[in-house]
Amino acid sequence: MKKDIPYKIYLDETELPQSWLNLRAFMKQKPAPLLNPDTLQPVTKEELSHVFCEELVDQELDETSKFIPIPDEVRNFYKMYRPSPLVRAYCLEKALGTPAHIYYKFEGNNTSGSHKLNSAIAQAYYAKKQGLKGVTTETGAGQWGTALSMACSYFGLDCKVFMVKVSYEQKPFRREVMRTYGADVTPSPSTTTAIGRKILEEFPGTNGSLGCAISEAVEAATSREGYRYVLGSVLNQVLLHQSVIGLETKTALEKYDVTPDIIIGCAGGGSNLGGLIAPFMADQLEGKANYRFIAVEPASCPSLTRGKYAYDFCDTGRVCPLAKMYTLGSSFIPSPNHAGGLRYHGMTTTLSELHAQGLLEARAVEQTKVFEAAEYFARVEGILPAPESSHAIRAAIDEALKCKESGEKKTIVFGLTGTGYFDMMSYEKFHDGKMSDYIPTDEDLQVSLSKLPKV
Amino acid sequence: MKKDIPYKIYLDETELPQSWLNLRAFMKQKPAPLLNPDTLQPVTKEELSHVFCEELVDQELDETSKFIPIPDEVRNFYKMYRPSPLVRAYCLEKALGTPAHIYYKFEGNNTSGSHKLNSAIAQAYYAKKQGLKGVTTETGAGQWGTALSMACSYFGLDCKVFMVKVSYEQKPFRREVMRTYGADVTPSPSTTTAIGRKILEEFPGTNGSLGCAISEAVEAATSREGYRYVLGSVLNQVLLHQSVIGLETKTALEKYDVTPDIIIGCAGGGSNLGGLIAPFMADQLEGKANYRFIAVEPASCPSLTRGKYAYDFCDTGRVCPLAKMYTLGSSFIPSPNHAGGLRYHGMTTTLSELHAQGLLEARAVEQTKVFEAAEYFARVEGILPAPESSHAIRAAIDEALKCKESGEKKTIVFGLTGTGYFDMMSYEKFHDGKMSDYIPTDEDLQVSLSKLPKV
């Protein structure tokens, strides 16, 4: 007899994964290696260790270990907010009148308000273990900066956050949460770094961008004794840590003998999607299962659907290694009317390669449609979603409505990465009918894509 | 063998309470009845039914039923965010170096950000069942208004919220969350009601107060066909609904054979504290247990510690029944530098009577000490607490530090009613050293207490 499925499936603390899953190790055709931008040779451990913590460099370069144990210190922190619930969206199903079964893995029940904490705590742990004084990073919408502040506060590390200027000004409360956790927050571009001063000289009055904040944070780390740079998305190590999302999801579904048909996640740099799909994709790569995977990105920043699969710079200042990824060009900046995160110009190499291999679908959605889905979801499921997460909601609703038409009883799982409490300014725009859609023209993209490095 | 206690004790959905617990029914000496302000006779069901939904009036006046079944529709909604976790504060204990064991019942993991949703959904349900079009209410800090908006959206009811003007202006994001759930939000005092116009005439430029917003909301309900007024605290019915907090807490503790020594809650109108202590106090009243109960209130609004136990008006406009309670006088308004909620001039009648009988201790704490505790807690336990909840944290920490001195291994349970995501302006003041304490002088209190009704 099948067990009744509760509204929320909570795993026991003892069911927290013991190891992270390294998706690349399951891929026959691996993602292309990171390249040193000067030599165009694959970056070495030594080169990366100037920028990143040593154990994180090992994880970054490890293509063969399928599982990497989660240190006890990290698991203990996880226990404060994990396992996160897998929710059966009974109310959403009913409101839509769909025969589909919808589940979402909710990562918003922690103070950072998103899944970002899963990797922040791991990165802070390795920094502490290496005896560092502190770490530097960039943040856009502010979720990653908040998560890292919390993690650094827990391990007693100094935390320097370069926050994209427009967000710093529009989201004073995010900044204040970071200060509560003792972080030092600087609007980027700033005059505290050489690259910041150069960008300010070239583009006075700029609103800043993620790529530019990354360059400043890297410089701040490498020019200080006892500091390293950490990043909340895009990197392999981040996907690795985020696999805890997918592993818990899979355990929870298996407890109730549920097999998903479609797995959906929003995609900016790819950290949440990569983590959510990790164990499912691993099974697929081993021929054990057959799922549809859908990456949902903003139409205003459409790296997978309209970008080029090529080597590109990871940051505006061009201090980071080159990565082969779907990219819009490192100088691409989404239109100012784009709300929320998911504004990175590229996509993590693993998801890029899976997309290139035809294993991962991608679709782009316009933001007014995203906010419609967000408000609808808030009203029927009670959770006020982050704009980023709402991209996945949009696609999940669309798939559920297709099931309604076809009468198919598919099982849809999506990642609800976080809450929108700090995004009410965007919701206000939406309510007041002041939100518009902007889709970059082909000409726009040609400009930024014309600056790809010659590799 | 004792079971290992996890970081978070989650009850199963099937362990959700089937009934609310009516604490008054366990009291030999009942709280004094509500009085009609004109006749000074106990209010009748008929009189109250003009203002409140019928079944809620029954609950308001019911002094004998020990348990009242929770309707299935309400339990189904509860399942979207309950049972809420009872957290063992391992990290806090370690940071304090105390032998005490500390637990907190966390009610912040829902979009309203607090326990208020527990009663909002019940009140909306009974309004819907009665065939009403909508409900009206007031909100101060905004938690109750948000909760009610969510509940009304779920049941398809119209929701009119009068929001204390100063909060309306200082917390535009709270207002926006309510709009997301379809509520109509008016700053109070407003020109949309007779009492609002009168107050504006008498005190032009006033910032508004809870008592005044209540008067407007009551008028808006009673002057419209198909509307009733609902309230988020102070009333007996609210304490009843909030007993779900205490019932879950007790079940969770019993699962692990834990008996608390001290139970602590913040107290404004008394809804959270009354709910948290309900089943424990019921046991105490039946001679089955012996706990210490502590109500923690702001030194800037000290109804239990410095108020008078007397009949008073519940609202500024004097349209509501008289209640016998610890009160500072219905014209009392906390100093403008008082942050957050807990700003009601009185205390719910049940808790007032329990305090008068010596069964409930009370202490007042200053807000800078409260924010110190809040920030400390955020850093070690990861959760950013609401200013209101942080009153309980302050007292819990103080009690744990006493244990450290005495070496006693007491078990402390406190209510963490909500999160502070919408209170960052207050946190900013605190970080910038701009927060001060203001304690009303005896002369201040004499002014408002001199206006108590003659009963």
Task: Please report which confidence band the pLDDT of residue A353 belongs to, taking 50, 70 and 90 as the band edges.
Answer: very high
Q: Which residue shows structure tokens 């139409």? A: A299
Is A111 close to B382, i.e. CB distance below 8 A? yes
For B62-82, write each residue's pLDDT tens digit: 999 999 999 999 999 999 999
pLDDT above 80: residue A345: yes
Closest CB to B150: pick one of A80, A111, A382: A382
Q: The sheet that has A411-416: what strands, in order across it? A: A8-9, A86-88, A101-106, A411-416, A262-266, A292-298, A361-365
Cα B159 from Cα B175, distance rounded (Å): 13
Whether B81 has its CB under 8 Å from any CB of chain A: the answer is yes
Which of A109, A10, A14 is closest to B12 using CA atoms?
Answer: A10
Q: Are B349 and B323 in contact (CB under 8 A)?
A: yes
Amino acid at A369: K
On whether the CB atoms of residues A314 and A303 are closer than 8 A, the answer is: no
171-200 in B: which are within 8 Å (CB) of A?
A: 172-173, 176-177, 179-182
Q: Give CA A435 to chain center in angstroms.
A: 24
Backbone angles phi, psi at B41, to 5 degrees: -100, 155
Considering CB atoms only, which of A8, A177, A375 is closest to B384?
Answer: A177
Q: Convert the pLDDT of each residue in A268-315 to its tens digit.
A: 999 999 999 999 999 999 999 999 999 999 999 999 999 999 999 998
Task: Give the length of chain A.
Answer: 455
Report the alpha-carbon distance of residue B258 to residue B291 in Å, rounded: 13
Asked if B164 and B207 touch (Cβ cutoff 8 Å), the reply is yes
Q: Which residue of B80, B380, B421 is in closest CB contact with A382? A: B80
- Asked whether B291 and B261 are in contact (CB, 8 A), the reply is yes
Chain B hits for A422, CB-CB cut-off 8 Å, are 421
Q: What is the pLDDT of residues B168-190, one digit of tens each?
A: 988 889 999 999 999 999 999 99
Question: Which amino acid, residue A165?
Answer: K
Asked if A94 reaches chain B (Cβ–Cβ under 8 Å), the answer is no
The distance of Cα A137 from the centroid of its chain, to the nearest Å, equals 15
Q: Is B223 helix (H, G, I), strand (E, B) or coil?
A: coil
pLDDT at A316 over 90: no
A229 strand-pairing partners:
A136
Amino acid at B132: L
Confidence of residue B2 (pLDDT cuts 50, 70, 90): low
Residue A141 has a pLDDT of 81
A52 touches chain B (CB under 8 A): no
Closest CA to B294 of B366, B212, B395: B395
Whether the pLDDT of residue A1 is over 80: the answer is no
pLDDT at A131: 98
Are B6 and A375 within 8 A, CB to CB? no
Q: Which of A79, A182, A381 sits opposite B80 (nearest CB)?
A: A381
Residue of A nearest to B183 (CA): A379
Query: Which residues of chain B neighbour A154 with C-beta distances below 8 Å?
Result: 379-380, 382
| Complex ipTM | 0.93
**pLDDT tens-digit series, residues B78-127:** 999 999 999 999 999 999 999 999 999 999 999 999 999 999 999 999 99
In the prediction, which pLDDT does A3 show?
76
Distance in angstroms (rounded) separating the CA atoms of residues B118 and B265: 16
**What confidence tier does A2 reach under pLDDT thresholds 50, 70, 90?**
low
**Residue A327 is encoded by which pair of tokens?**
């990219």
Contact A424/B172, CB-based, under 8 Å? yes
Nearest 5°: phi and psi at A292? -100, 130
Backbone angles phi, psi at A204, to 5 degrees: -60, 145
Is residue A156 less than 8 Å (CB to CB) from chain B? no
CA distance A345 to B360: 59
**Do B173 and A425 make contact, defined as CB atoms within 8 angstroms?**
yes
Share of residues in chain B with pLDDT > 90 (%): 89
Look up residue B113 and give its two tokens: 């950000």
Structure tokens at A11: 């795993």
B384 touches chain A (CB under 8 A): yes
Residue A218: pLDDT over 80? yes
Secondary structure (DSSP) of A175-195: HHHHHHTT-EEEEES-TTSHH
Confirm or reject contact between A424 and chain B (CB < 8 A): yes
Residues of A in contact with B80 (CB under 8 A): 7-8, 91, 381-382
* Strand partners of residue B136: B160, B229
Helix axes B117-129, B143-155, angle to 10 degrees: 40
Contact B427 A172 (CB under 8 A): no
Nearest to B13 among A6, A380, A425 (CB): A6
Compute the average pLDDT of residues A368-385.
97
Chain B environment of A424 (Cβ under 8 Å): 172-173, 176-177
Residues of B in contact with A172 (CB under 8 A): 424, 428
pLDDT 10s digits, A37-48: 999 999 999 999
Mean pLDDT of all residues belonging to chain B: 95
Tracing tokens 């939406």 back to the chain, one arrives at A430
Which architecture does CATH list for A82-113+235-449? 3-Layer(aba) Sandwich (3.40)
pLDDT band at A453 (very low <50, low <70, confident <90, very high): very high
CATH topology of domain B19-70+115-229: Rossmann fold (3.40.50)
Cis amide prior to A85 (ω within 30 degrees): no
CA dist A231 to A53, A148, A271, B432, Å? 11, 9, 11, 29
Q: What is residue A455's predicted lDDT score, i.e. its pLDDT?
A: 87
For residues B423 and B431, give the distance between their C-alpha atoms in angstroms, rounded to a whole number: 13
CA distance A360 to chain B (A): 31
B80/A424 CB distance under 8 A: no
Interface contact A431-B176, CB threshold 8 A: yes
CA A162/CA A193 separation, integer angstroms: 11
Burial of A158 (0-12, 13-18, 19+ CB in 10 A): middle
**Residue that the structure tokens 């089937």 belong to:** B18
CB pair distance less than 8 Å for A7 and B153:
no
Chain A residues within 8 A of B8 when measuring between CB atoms: 13, 79-80
Q: What percent of chain A has pLDDT over 70?
A: 100
Q: What is the pLDDT of residue A238?
A: 97
Looking up tokens 């979720």 gives A143
The count of other CB atoms within 10 Å of the CB of residue B65 is 16
Both tokens of A384, joined, read 């006020």
DSSP 3-state of A220: helix
Q: Please tell me which of the candidates B12, B81, B179 has its beta carbon nearest to residue A382.
A: B81
**Is B287 at the interface with chain A, CB within 8 A?**
no
* A384: contact with B, CB 8 A cutoff: yes
Mark yes or no for CB contact B181/A379 under 8 Å.
yes
**Overall average pLDDT of the A253-278 stretch:** 97
Alpha helices of B130-171 — where are they, by DSSP H? 143-155, 165-170
**Min distance A338 CA to chain B CA atoms (Å):** 19
Mutation for B interface: A3, A76, A121, A176, most B CBs within 10 A: A176
Give the tens place of pLDDT for each residue, A75-129: 999 999 999 999 999 999 999 999 999 999 999 999 999 999 999 999 999 999 9
State the pLDDT confidence band at A170, using cuts at 50, 70 and 90.
confident
Whole-angstrom Cα distance, residue B165 to residue B200?
Answer: 12
SS3 B430: helix
> Rounded CA gap, B23 and B205, in Å?
42
The residue in chain A having the minimum alpha-carbon distance to the alpha carbon of residue B171 is A424
Q: Which two tokens stand for residue B298?
A: 């702001």
What residues of chain B lie within 8 A of the CB of A10, using their CB?
Answer: 10
Residue B348 CA to residue B352 CA, distance in Å, equals 6
User: If we measure between CA atoms, which residue out of B119, B114, B116, B163 comes closest to residue B141?
Assistant: B163
CB contacts < 8 A (A, B): 112
- The confidence score (pLDDT) of residue A56 equals 97
CA-nearest residue to A418 within chain B is B111
| pLDDT at residue number A414 | 98
Q: Which of B79, B81, B153 sits opposite A379 (nearest CB)?
A: B153
CA distance A110 to chain B (A): 7
B427 touches chain A (CB under 8 A): yes
Contact between chains at B180 and A378 (C-beta distance less than 8 A): yes
Strand partners, A105: A86, A415
Which residues does chain A have within 8 Å of residue B431's beta carbon, measured at their own beta carbons?
A: 176, 179-180
Q: Give the C-alpha separation, B90 to B228, whole Å.
A: 45
CA distance A77 to chain B (A): 9
**Is the minimum CB–CB distance between A12 and chain B shorter than 8 Å?**
yes
Query: In chain B, what percentage of residues exceed pLDDT 70?
Result: 100
User: Which pTM value belongs to this model?
Assistant: 0.95
pLDDT at B167 > cutoff 90: no
User: What is the rounded end-to-end Cα distance, in angstroms, of chain A?
Assistant: 58
- Whether the CB-CB separation of B274 and B239 falls below 8 Å is answered with yes
* Mutant choice from A16, A104, A109, A158 vs B, greatest count of B C-beta within 10 A: A109
Q: List every span in chain A annotated with CATH 3.40.50.1100.
A: 19-70+115-229, 82-113+235-449
